[in-house]
Amino acid sequence: MKILIWHVHGSWTTAFVAGQHDYVLPLLPDRSRDGLGRARTWSWPAAAREVAVDQLRDEPLDLVVLQRPHEAALAERLTGRRPGRDLPAVYLEHNAPPGPAVGTVHPVATDPALRGIPVVHVTLFNAMAWDCGESATTVIEHGVPDPGYSYTGDVASLAVVVNEPVRRWRVAGTDLLLDMARHVPVDVYGMGMDALRERALADGVPSLASRLHEDLPQARLHQRLGRHRAYFHPYRWTSLGLALLEAMTCGLPVLALSTTEAPEAVPPEAGLVTCDLEALRATARRWLDDPAEARERGRVARQHALARYGLKRFLDDWDRLLEGMTR
């Protein structure tokens, strides 16, 4: 099957393009958001091909995976085929509702260009929270390639992965991250670390300012994560951070807020999921003092992540859906 898909979410797409299909990735000369092409910090197979946007009309496409509201009109303009009518289409929703959770209506229920296109949610929480109107919905939970067990826990600190933590302040729980860093060592990985360094210094957390790591390649990030004692997931409102699942597959135990999908993703034996901030701090301190407990909980986290979010299950789920749409 030849699938048109924009490179929107690098980690998710890494799993998706590991399947058995041909994947057409629109490319613009400046590699802007509507034409990023292939990833540069992930390893993708040759079947994930960059195609210049002015050549998409010549591609014999079987299906398009839409991920942003404007992509329906964009796909029609670039291919000459209307998604959902001339070209089979599915709308992949990565996110939890951005507005009031019980009142946010999804674009498939309001946008004429999207109406009737089925929606795939990546978490059970998202499927429950979004109002998708009359569109058919299903859930295909995340899948993550196994990076291998890399846990040593020899660095007595918590690891956090977050992009643009200052811009996404309360959503990402960056204020909670700074608070945790006042009590135990915390290392942060991601994009936008310069802004976080300035904020940490301004807020009187110089220890955090010296433990920031800017946008590492994925393989190197996984190796670095495995050295930390535990993973801290401070997000108040997110679909389900793939970095959390990747950290679990590396063998890290987890500290997370009990919001959105985290209680479903992290079993009690793999860490602590709670909105009790003092309990999170106390558990972090205990694990820093008890590497054996942290290691054992991390083993459970890895087993659970591989069993529930394994790559084969993810690809099999998608194959069943896509085959049903193109029969």
CA 263, 100, 161, 262: dihedral to nearest 10 degrees? 0
pLDDT of residue 212: 97
- Do 129 and 178 sit in the same domain of this protein? no
Cα(67)–Cα(295) distance, rounded to whole angstroms?
37
Question: Do both 134 and 185 map to the same domain?
Answer: no
Count of the separate structural domains present in the chain: 2
**DSSP string for residues in 49-69:** EEEEGGGGGGS--SEEEE-ST
Question: Which residues of the chain are under the pLDDT cut of 50?
Answer: none
Residue 291's pLDDT is: 98
> Residues 184, 138: one domain?
no
The reply to whether 122 and 94 lie within a common domain is yes
Rounded to whole angstroms, how far apart are CA atoms 253 and 271?
5
125, 163: one domain: no
CA distance 266 to 278: 19
Do residues 302 and 315 share a domain? Answer: no
pLDDT score of 193: 97
- CATH code of the domain in which 20 resides: 3.40.50
Distance, CA of 241 to CA of 296 (rounded, Å):
23
Identify whether residues 86 and 207 lie together within a single domain. Answer: no
150 within a domain of the structure (yes/no): no
Q: Do 139 and 165 sit in the same domain of this protein?
A: no
Q: H/E element holding 231?
A: strand 228-233
Structural domain boundaries, residue 262:
155-308
Same domain, 86 and 44: yes
CATH number at residue 163: 3.40.50.2000
Give pLDDT, residue 102. 75
* CA pair distance 225, 254, nearest whole angstrom: 12
Residues 163 and 303 in one domain: yes
